[in-house]
Amino acid sequence: KNQVEQSPQSLIILEGKNCTLQCNYTVSPFSNLRWYKQDTGRGPVSLTIMTFSENTKSNGRYTATLDADTKQSSLHITASQLSDSASYICVVRSGGSYIPTFGRGTSLIVHP
Amino acid sequence: GAVVSQHPSWVICKSGTSVKIECRSLDFQATTMFWYRQFPKQSLMLMATSNEGSKATYEQGVEKDKFLINHASLTLSTLTVTSAHPEDSSFYICSGEGSTGELFFGEGSRLTVL
């Protein structure tokens, strides 16, 4: 069964600090992995997409990594801002199914 | 990036009434649209997948007669919550799939059933 596990479930950090969110998946065959940011009461917005051949991809202060061998991805946020407070969702697409598999998300709170 | 317009953004209705939520892909054609519901502080739960011109595929435990999905065109999909009850109160989100497989989400609709 395709599964996506995210950790930690929630995280509280001080403004300006860095943090790393984890995503482990068992989706097979793997097609791609995306990280989404969901602000409270809003729809998710894509941050990065990782395909099988990509190890690292950056989008501003967000850097995603992918280890296809261990089936792990991480999202690193540098110099956090108050506006980074949101839920971060890992979504994995399988080459064998058109239905994406969602992680439960990591709730990040950035305190001033 | 591509835009998916979803409305209404919030709706309050009386128990027993029906509510329609629209999801439009504004600058791309979405052959496939997904509908989700999300309870407070919980993850998105896929309700159904709709393909243009065909019947929607519902996830296990989702009543198809309760949540009517219509995907009549490549740019419009609708979700109708029929005979809504307080337990149907939730945040409903749609997403359209672009040509590269990326999901573009609507802003969500907050339904409150009194």
Residue A53: left if φ>0, alpha if ψ -120 to 50, beta else—which one? alpha
Q: What is the pLDDT of residues A83-105, one digit of tens each?
A: 999 999 999 988 877 778 899 99
Residue A66: predicted pLDDT: 95
Q: What residues of chain A have any CB closer than 8 angstroms to a CB in chain B?
A: 31-32, 34, 36, 41-46, 49, 89, 91, 93, 98-100, 102-105, 107
Q: Cβ–Cβ of A46/B110 closer than 8 Å?
A: no
Q: What is the pLDDT of residues A4-34, one digit of tens each?
A: 999 999 999 999 999 999 999 998 888 889 9
B3 touches chain A (CB under 8 A): no
Q: Which two tokens stand for residue A31?
A: 């097609």
Nearest-CA distance A100 → chain B (Å) = 9
Q: Cβ–Cβ of B108/A91 closer than 8 Å?
A: no
- In chain B, what percentage of residues exceed pLDDT 70? 99
Residues of chain B contacting A10 with CB distance shorter than 8 Å = none
Partner residue opposite A43 with nearest CB, options B42, B49, B93? B93
Neighbours of A60 (CB within 10 A): 8
| Mean pLDDT, residues A46-50 | 87
Between B42 and B94, whose confidence is greater? Answer: B94
Q: Kindly report the CA angle at A52 between A86 and A58, in degrees rounded to 5?
A: 45
DSSP one-letter string for B87-98: GG-EEEEEEEE-
Q: What is the pLDDT of residues B80-101, one digit of tens each?
A: 999 999 999 999 999 998 777 7
Q: Which two tokens stand for residue B61?
A: 């435990």
- Contact assessment for residue B6 and residue B108, using Cβ atoms and an 8 Å cutoff: yes
Residue B57: predicted pLDDT: 92
Query: Tokens 């949540």 identify what position?
Result: B67
**pLDDT of B1 strictly over 70:** no
Nearest-CA distance B77 → chain A (Å) = 16
**pLDDT of A40 strictly over 80:** yes
Of A16, A17, A35, A15, the C-alpha closest to A25 is A35
Interface test with A, best of B11, B42, B47, B103 (most A CBs within 10 A): B103
Residue B113: predicted pLDDT: 96
